[in-house]
């Protein structure tokens, strides 16, 4: 009934237009013209005018009758022709080799061609929605605003690229020169299916056959050999060679030893997923090689893929191995274009016994300082004692070279204020020794050396824009490198094994020049940085840490003075105690707490509270959250069993095995706590951390 009514409405709405309408109306227009021409005939002869008028009346009746009678027949003939034409089109579409279907606005199938029915194994009378055939298609995809759309469908064992095209009713009629129809804005959807199963198979096979470059370095080759008897050294090396060759030979890889502690590996891309699922177990297997060596052998592996050529892949693998070594070794870094993945890195970094590298870096720093006009030193935002002490150490080195030195410092925390007051003009230091970011950007020029200490991430520095203004950048840091690093420094000294940047600077000062003289307050500041970052020599403390402290003590550092400088005010002490009091223990091993943000330096107090929580029996790692400057700062600490650096990297942060941190934006305390708990659950399940 509805269809009949709809058909009647359609017939009433059909009108003749364009050339056909002009053709049908022309006889009637001619009749009007003849009546006008008959007026002059009346003027000449009334009898002749009357005769012509009678003829015109009869002619008009005949024309009008013919119009009324022939118009429906003509329209019907046009519709019949269109129907026959549509039948031909339908037959062509039906025999079309590309699967084709017409859908209504809601995705219901109105018509399918023969090929579509064959592919989907549905009858041509199937009129359910297309979603019942392809569940992977969403209604939003089908009804997207674009008139033409394309998306991928996975169906059974095939992959199709579906392309849709909207066909509006009014658009079809507007294209006609002879008919028009009054209709609402409705449309049909034409769907074309392109079988790309083979294409994707060939693309996948081509990808799997691509070659992957990898570099394998032994982190502690010299140190491991020194811890073993001479007669067993060749055996240890042979066992490591055998482990490496056996592991990579299983995936048909080419292994070549380029140096005594370096290997170059080439293998097919299809085996990379196997190694990733295995989490590169080679780095754990090599640690188990024991032939009397006291020190376990560790490996670093850098893998490069998705380059434009073999040279690019090698370059990516070289960047990856540099990053692995910069993060402390004993891990795998996979660089896939700009994407970087990490595996391993759970063990403590190995302290190097030799200080050759420190001497080389000291000489390189001296040469760099000689070639610049002035120096600007900056640490990370919300500068701490380690960053400040390292900056003072570099200031001492540059001062000996006669260079103008300034330290970029935007915010002075309560813990830093007593140290900064030691370097006032009254004590003989320049008025402009400390400047803010705005002033630094005004003073910097192309001959300025930008010295970055205690961070290697550009966005963490006091003034990231300063890195782009200077002609030369030098980085001294003890944090593990992440994905984001300062680009193209002319000198980079990053040692994750070091307890603090102050320790590194103290070593460099010893080799910078002979008999360098430090003032007492300068030695105190550098010593304070070591003291804070080692938690009073209880964490990340090695032989070289004590040697650096001994050097500073000889330079005039006084333990009692430093202790007085580092004392907390009453509000900070109460806030730290409150953080410990409010701590919650999760899974009987993780202490999670919050630090009040009402004090002057909440992030410093949060870090101190995290250290305090480790003194509680059973706590293997602590996390203290601080709300500061519209961000949640996380201070993470552990003693030795849990690698908090891996945990913080899940939040975009980083640090060391025992000391790490991260920042969360647009997050509340409760959301941050839940996020930490969920991350701990995931990492426990994945085996990244163990209780």
Q: Are 302 and 215 in contact (CB under 8 A)?
A: yes
Topology given in CATH for the domain delimited by 210-344: Alpha-Beta Plaits (3.30.70)
Burial of 81 (0-12, 13-18, 19+ CB in 10 A): exposed
Question: Domain 361-565 is classified in which CATH homologous superfamily?
Answer: inorganic pyrophosphatase (n-terminal core) (3.90.1640.10)
Contact criterion met (CB below 8 Å) for 559 and 531: no
Note the pLDDT of residue 634. 94
Given a contact cutoff of 8 angstroms between Cβ atoms, the answer to whether 310 and 339 are in contact is no
pLDDT score at 191 = 87
468: left (phi over 0), alpha (psi -120 to 50) or beta: alpha
Contacts of residues 338-343 at CB distance under 8 Å and 24 or more positions apart, as own/partner, are 340/483, 341/276, 342/649, 343/276, 343/279, 343/280, 343/283
CA–CA separation, 195 and 191 (whole Å): 13
The burial class, CB within 10 Å (0-12 / 13-18 / 19+), for 202 is exposed
- 351 burial level (CB within 10 Å; 0-12, 13-18, 19+): middle
552 to 388, 503, 521: CA distances (angstroms): 16, 10, 11
pLDDT by 10-residue block (mean), the chain, 691 residues: 43 56 70 78 78 80 76 67 66 77 83 84 82 81 72 83 78 52 65 86 82 91 83 89 93 92 93 89 89 84 88 90 82 86 70 72 91 93 92 94 93 88 92 93 91 92 90 90 83 88 94 86 94 86 90 92 87 88 92 85 87 91 91 90 87 83 89 93 86 76
Q: Kindly list the distances between the CA atom of residue 533 and the CA atoms of 104, 272, 604, 658, 660, in Å, as whole numbers in the listed order.
A: 68, 39, 12, 11, 11
pLDDT in tens, 195-244: 888 888 888 887 788 889 999 999 888 888 887 888 888 899 999 999 99
- The CATH topology of domain 100-204 is Beta-Lactamase (3.30.450)
> Which phi and psi (to 5°) does residue 537 adopt?
65, 30
- What is the helix, strand, coil percentage profile of the chain, to 5? 45, 20, 30
Which backbone phi and psi does 183 adopt, to 5 degrees?
-150, 150
Domains in the chain: boundaries: 2-91, 100-204, 210-344, 361-565, 571-686
Q: What is the pLDDT of residue 3?
A: 44
Helix (H, G, I), strand (E, B) or coil at 495: coil
Query: What is the sign, positive or negative, of the torsion defined by CA atoms of 95, 96, 97, 100?
Result: negative
d(CA 404, CA 375): 6
Say how far apart CA 336 and CA 306 lie, in whole Å: 5
Element (H, E) at 235: helix 230-249
Nearest to 349 by CA among 296, 385, 303, 387: 296
DSSP state of 498: S
Q: What is the pLDDT of residue 9?
A: 44
CB 495 within 8 A of CB 470: no
Distance CA 522, CA 407 (A): 14
Sign of CA dihedral 350, 356, 362, 367: negative
Q: What is the pLDDT of residue 19?
A: 64
pLDDT score recorded for residue 78: 67
| Dist CA 672 CA 678 (whole Å) | 10
Per residue in 557-586, is it b (16+ CB within 10 Å) or e — as a string? Answer: beeebbeebbebeeebeebbebbbeebeeb
Radius of gyration of the chain (CA): 41
Name the CATH architecture for the domain at 571-686.
Roll (3.10)
**Could you tell me the sign of the dihedral formed by the alpha carbons of 645, 277, 264, 205, in that order?**
negative
- pLDDT for res 10: 43
Report how far apart, in Å, the C-alpha atoms of 288 and of each of 246, 249, 280, 655 are: 15, 20, 14, 27
Q: What are phi and psi of 334, to 5 degrees?
A: -110, 120
Nearest CA to 250 out of 230, 262, 265, 235 is that of 265
């Amino acid at each position: 009934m509805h269809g009949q009514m709809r058909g009647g409405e359609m017939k009433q709405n059909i009108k003749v237009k364009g050339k056909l309408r002009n053709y049908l109306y022309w006889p009637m227009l001619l009749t009007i013209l003849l009546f006008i021409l008959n007026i002059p005939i009346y003027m000449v002869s009334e009898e002749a005018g009357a005769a012509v008028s009678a003829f015109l009346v009869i002619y008009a009746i005949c024309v009008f009758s013919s119009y009324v009678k022939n118009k429906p027949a003509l329209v019907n003939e046009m519709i019949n022709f269109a129907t026959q034409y549509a039948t031909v089109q339908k037959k062509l579409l039906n025999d079309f080799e590309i699967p084709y279907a017409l859908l209504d606005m809601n995705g219901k199938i109105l018509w399918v061609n023969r090929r579509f029915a064959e592919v989907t194994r549905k009858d041509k009378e199937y009129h359910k929605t297309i979603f019942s055939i392809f569940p992977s298609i969403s209604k939003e995809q089908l009804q997207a605003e674009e008139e033409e759309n394309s998306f991928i469908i996975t169906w059974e064992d095939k992959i199709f690229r579906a392309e849709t095209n909207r066909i509006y009713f009014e658009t079809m009629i507007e294209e006609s020169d002879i008919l028009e129809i009054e209709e609402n804005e409705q449309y049909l959807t034409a769907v074309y299916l392109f079988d790309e199963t083979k294409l994707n198979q060939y693309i996948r096979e081509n990808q799997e056959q691509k070659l992957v470059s990898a570099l394998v370095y032994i982190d502690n080759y010299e140190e491991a050999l020194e811890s073993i008897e001479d007669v067993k050294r060749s055996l240890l090396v042979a066992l490591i060679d055998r482990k490496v060759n056996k592991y990579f030979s299983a995936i048909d890889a080419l292994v070549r030893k380029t140096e005594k502690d370096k290997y170059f590996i080439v293998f097919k891309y299809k085996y990379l997923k196997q190694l990733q699922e295995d989490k590169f177990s080679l780095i754990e297997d090599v640690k188990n090689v024991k032939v009397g060596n006291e020190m376990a052998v560790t490996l670093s592996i850098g893998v490069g893929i998705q380059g434009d050529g073999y040279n690019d892949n090698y370059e990516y693998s070289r960047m990856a191995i540099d990053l692995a070594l910069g993060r402390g070794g004993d891990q795998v870094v996979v660089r896939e274009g700009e994407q970087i993945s990490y595996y391993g890195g759970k063990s403590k970094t190995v302290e190097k016994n030799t200080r050759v590298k420190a001497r080389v870096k000291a000489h390189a720093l001296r040469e760099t300082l000689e070639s610049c006009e002035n120096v600007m030193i900056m640490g990370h935002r919300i500068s701490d004692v380690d960053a400040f002490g390292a900056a003072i150490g570099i200031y001492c080195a540059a001062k000996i070279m006669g260079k103008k030195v300034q330290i970029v410092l935007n915010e002075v925390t309560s813990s830093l204020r007593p140290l900064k007051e030691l370097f006032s003009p009254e004590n003989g230091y320049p008025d402009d020794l400390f400047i803010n970011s705005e002033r630094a950007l005004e003073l910097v020029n192309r001959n300025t050396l930008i010295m970055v200490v205690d961070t290697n991430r550009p966005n963490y520095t006091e003034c990231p824009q300063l890195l782009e203004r200077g002609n030369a950048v030098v980085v001294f840091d003890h944090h593990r490198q992440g994905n984001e690093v300062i680009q193209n420094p002319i000198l980079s000294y990053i040692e994750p094994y070091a307890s603090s940047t102050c320790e590194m600077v103290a070593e460099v000062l010893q080799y910078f020049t002979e008999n360098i003289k430090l003032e007492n307050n300068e030695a105190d500041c550098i010593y304070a940085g070591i003291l804070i970052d080692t938690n009073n020599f209880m964490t990340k403390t090695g032989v070289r840490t004590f040697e650096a402290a001994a050097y500073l003590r000889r330079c005039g550092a006084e333990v009692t003075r430093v202790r007085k400088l580092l004392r907390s005010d009453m509000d900070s002490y109460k806030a730290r105690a409150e953080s410990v009091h409010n701590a919650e223990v999760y899974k009987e091993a993780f202490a999670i707490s919050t630090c009040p943000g009402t004090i002057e330096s909440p992030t410093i107090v949060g870090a101190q509270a995290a250290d305090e929580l480790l003194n509680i029996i059973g706590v293997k790692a602590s996390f203290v959250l601080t709300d500061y400057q519209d961000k949640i700062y996380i201070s993470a600490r552990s003693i030795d069993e849990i690698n908090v650096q891996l945990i913080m990297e899940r939040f975009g942060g980083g640090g060391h095995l025992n000391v790490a941190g991260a920042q969360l934006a647009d997050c509340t305390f409760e959301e941050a706590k839940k996020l930490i708990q969920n991350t701990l659950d995931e990492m426990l399940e994945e085996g990244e951390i163990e209780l």
